Every structure is written in C-alpha cells, then in structure tokens.
Amino acid sequence: MSRIIPNISVDCVIFGFDFNQLNVLLVERKLIDEKSNKVLIDDWTLTGYHILEEEDFDTAAARILKKMSGLDNIYLEQFYAFGGVKRVNSPKDMLWLQNQSEGFSERIVTVGYFSLIDNTSVTLSLKERNVKWFPISNLPTMGFDHREILEKALERLRAKLRSEPIGFELLPEKFTITQLQRLYEEVLGTTLDRRNFRKKVLQMKYVIPLDEKQKGVKHKPAQLFIFSREVYEKTKTERFDFSI
Amino acid sequence: MSRIIPNISVDCVIFGFDFNQLNVLLVERKLIDEKSNKVLIDDWTLTGYHILEEEDFDTAAARILKKMSGLDNIYLEQFYAFGGVKRVNSPKDMLWLQNQSEGFSERIVTVGYFSLIDNTSVTLSLKERNVKWFPISNLPTMGFDHREILEKALERLRAKLRSEPIGFELLPEKFTITQLQRLYEEVLGTTLDRRNFRKKVLQMKYVIPLDEKQKGVKHKPAQLFIFSREVYEKTKTERFDFSI
C-alpha cells in the first residue's frame, strides 16, 4: 500500500453554479473530546488531503475529491502552489493535525486545483465527514489558510470568466440573456448594467439568437439563445496574436 | 541555520531576449570521477534547488536564482507545480543526487517560475557552477525533467505574449516594427507575414508612431514607434468582461 507524503497535499476548490448563486464545496472539520463530549473543533475546509508516494498531483486531486464527496470525472485545473511557512498556524489547525495521527509534517505545502460546475447536476455522497455546498456570499469559518486559497481560486475563476467562454455551458442549452447575466453577476460578485450587458452579448457572433421564446413563464417570455463553441473557436483572436 | 526540505524544490526558467534571439539560462551539471578523472555527467539544468524549511516558494526562487547566476531583482512568476512520480529517473539523475549528499528524497516535487528579460542588460556572475545563456533553438542535453519544465514555461510565455503586451518593454524605448516583429517571431518560434504584422500593429492605439526615423543605419531608415502602457491600460477590454 502506498503511503502518504507527510508534507505535500492538494486542495480542490470546486465552484458550483445553481442558476441562482455561486457556491463552493466544503468539508466539515469536527473534533469532539471523547471523555467530556466537548466540541473542540467545528469548522470547514476545502476538499483536500495528502498525496501518496506513488501518485502525481492530478491523480491525487481527482482521488481525494471523489473520496471526500463522491464527485467523479470533474475537470480539475491546477492553479497555484501554496508554500507559506505559516500555513498551519492556529491551535485548532495543530490540534487537528495531531489528532489525524498520520505523521503529518508541521510544514505542509499544497497544490491548488479548481473547477466550475453546474452543481444541480451532481449528487454528493456523504462519507465519513460532512460535505456540502456553501454560497460564496455566506461562508462559514474555515480552517488552515483555506480561505486564502479559496480567494486566489476565485480570482483565477473571475479572470478566466472575463477572457474565456467558460460560463455558457453551465446554463441550459437554450438560455435567456437574463440567465446569462445572472451567472456573470454571481461569479464576478457584482451587478451589471442590463442594457450594456445585452448590447455586448448581441455583438457576440457565437451567441446565436433563436426564433423561439421561453415557455411556461408568468412574465413576458424572453428570447432564447444558444452558444456555439465552434463559432467561438473559429472567430476568436488574441490581442497580440500575430500568428493567426 | 535553516535546513533544506528533502523533497521540495523550485526551478526558474529565465528567458532572455537579446534583440536577435530567445535564450534560456542554464547551469552546468558536471561530475568527474576523482580517481580516474573520467567525466561521469556533463549536461545542463535549469537554475533550481531545494527550498529551505523557513522559506516560502517566492523567496526560495529569488534566492536560488541569485545564488546560481548573480541575477537579482528579476520579476519571477510561478507557473506550475510538477509532481510526476518518475521525475528523477535516469542513472545520471540518481548519481547526481547521491553525490550531492544533502539527503535528498528519491521523489522530489518542484514548483516552476518563469521570467522574460532583456539579457543584454544583465551580467551573470559565475559561481561554483558554470551558468550561461543558450538559444532556445539550440539547447544542450538537459538533466532530470527540465526539458519538459522548459517546454511548459515556453507554452505559458507564448500564451502570455499573445494576450498581454509583455514584449514591448524588452525593446529600446523607440523601436521599429521590424524589431518588434523579430521579437514576436523569436518568442513564438515562427515566421510572420510582414504586411499583416505591420497592419495589426498600426491598429493598436497604444503603439504610437513618432515623427522620427532610425539614425545611422545603412539601409533606408525605418519609422520609430513607442509603446504606451498607460494607453494600453485605458483602452483594453476583455472578451467577456461585462463589468467595464
């Protein structure tokens, strides 16, 4: 059996959009004193753990995510390695690591992975530890430096959403501009001007208006659109790309 | 004194442009058998080494680069963590690590940093080991998986050059379109159509034509341009950035 590496871990920041808000997947870190029944620790962390001796980072991230949450076949992208000297700092962090009794080092570096999924389309299977989605706007107390790792991942996610079409595929195949705007507002954490948004979207050749409107809504039905990745790939240009 | 961490290192991929070609900074890895005088290893690696117990990744990268090459105050950007199980694989790699006798692990993960500088404006100070610039088009045999790390860094550098104005500041303040094209061709590793290139550059509002031509050249003097980062920052838009 392959042993864990005491000083190297991976942490997965799984963002989930549910058509309404942006969420992140967290795992409960709970420690109860057996004698007194006193709760010593009860907070939350990212889905992460130590890598094994015979395992690369990508494999470790997928294995650990699956083990902790049941999520499988999620596209995970490495985004940053965290090597701060004081990553494990608080008495709670120390206590937790001592209690795991797996021989962890005092200084652990971690490699961060992130993903953005439609979290209404997946089911979490609860394992030994409680795992659930939290809205980004209402996060619980988090252990270690996981809040910082989450912030860095969110920064990367936002930069990516601003420059690549990573949002469209989280919406229904046929979507309204309002649904798309909701996604951008939630991920970017801001409100956007409705008219400007609409104008920009209508200029995108890869967002194709249909001769079809919403059905079964109480309000005035809105026009539906589809996103074409093919058209996007064929028409995109980089600002300084002279080679195409 | 702070000890090294046996299984974690950083590696710096320093790219240098000399107005003519793209180079990379490498360090010689030479091992000679003391009895027979036989050369056991003679190849090249990136500037990299193990991090210390009391040191984060950024600090380690800057310290190690300075120690091995004399280069100081170089902007280093973390780009990827390499955790492959078989990174140290060849008999030469094993022999080198045994010979270092610093108690390295057999499995070492490394965090990659890269930078692009004008290498005519810096001076290398040779330390215990030979360090020098090699043209990307003519690389020597490289140890460990450093060729792969270099390729990944080059991929990142090229992506960055296509989307951000990272090249202009490597040229003289007043430059010709031909000089700029040379830089793009060398970094992208391709030849570009002269007319298309010129046309694209002339459309950039942040590349400003001067009423001034080259001096002291034998051929017909070309028009000079300056790059304005200020204009770039004020006019740039991201493809999917609805917030600006």
pLDDT confidence band for B155 (50 / 70 / 90): very high
Task: Determine whether the interchain pair A165/B240 forms a contact, defined as Cβ–Cβ distance below 8 Å.
Answer: yes
Predicted complex: ipTM over 0.95: no
Task: Determine whether the interchain pair A242/B192 forms a contact, defined as Cβ–Cβ distance below 8 Å.
Answer: yes
Within an 8 Å CB–CB cutoff, is residue B2 touching chain A? no
Could you give the CA distance from residue B23 to residue B116 in angstroms, rounded to a whole number?
10
Could you give the CA distance from residue B191 to residue B176 in angstroms, rounded to a whole number?
17
Domain residue extents for chain A: 4-162, 164-235
pLDDT tens digit sequence for A77-126? 999 999 999 898 899 999 998 888 677 888 999 999 999 999 999 999 87
- Is domain B4-162 classified as CATH 3.90.79.10? yes
Neighbour count for residue B157 (Cβ, 10 Å): 21
Q: Is B125 exposed, middle or buried (0-12, 13-18, 19+ CB in 10 A)?
A: exposed
**Shortest CA gap A97–chain B (Å):** 19
Angle at which helix A146-163 crosses helix A177-188, to 10 degrees, equals: 140
- Give the predicted TM-score (pTM) of the model: 0.93
Within an 8 Å CB–CB cutoff, is residue B1 touching chain A? no
Q: Which residues of A120-139 are buried (b: 16+ CB within 10 A; e: fewer)?
A: eebeeeeeeeebebeebeee
CB-defined contacts A:B, below 8 A: 98
pLDDT tens digit sequence for A181-235? 999 999 999 999 999 999 999 999 999 999 999 998 888 999 999 999 999 999 8
Select from 3.30.1380.10, 3.30.70.270, 1.10.10.10, 3.40.50.261 the CATH code of A164-235.
1.10.10.10
Residue A121: which residues within 8 A CB-CB, separation 6 or more? none
pLDDT beyond 90 at A241: no
Please list the residues that pair with B16 across neighbouring strands: B23, B117
Within an 8 Å CB–CB cutoff, is residue A241 touching chain B? yes
**Shortest CA gap A62–chain B (Å):** 14
**Region A63-67 average pLDDT:** 96
pLDDT tens digit sequence for A124-169? 987 788 999 999 999 999 999 999 999 999 999 999 999 899 999 8
Option in B60, B83, B200 nearest A242 (CB): B200
pLDDT tens digit sequence for B63-121? 999 999 999 999 999 999 999 998 888 999 989 988 886 778 889 999 999 999 999 99
Task: Determine whether the interchain pair B80/A78 forms a contact, defined as Cβ–Cβ distance below 8 Å.
Answer: yes
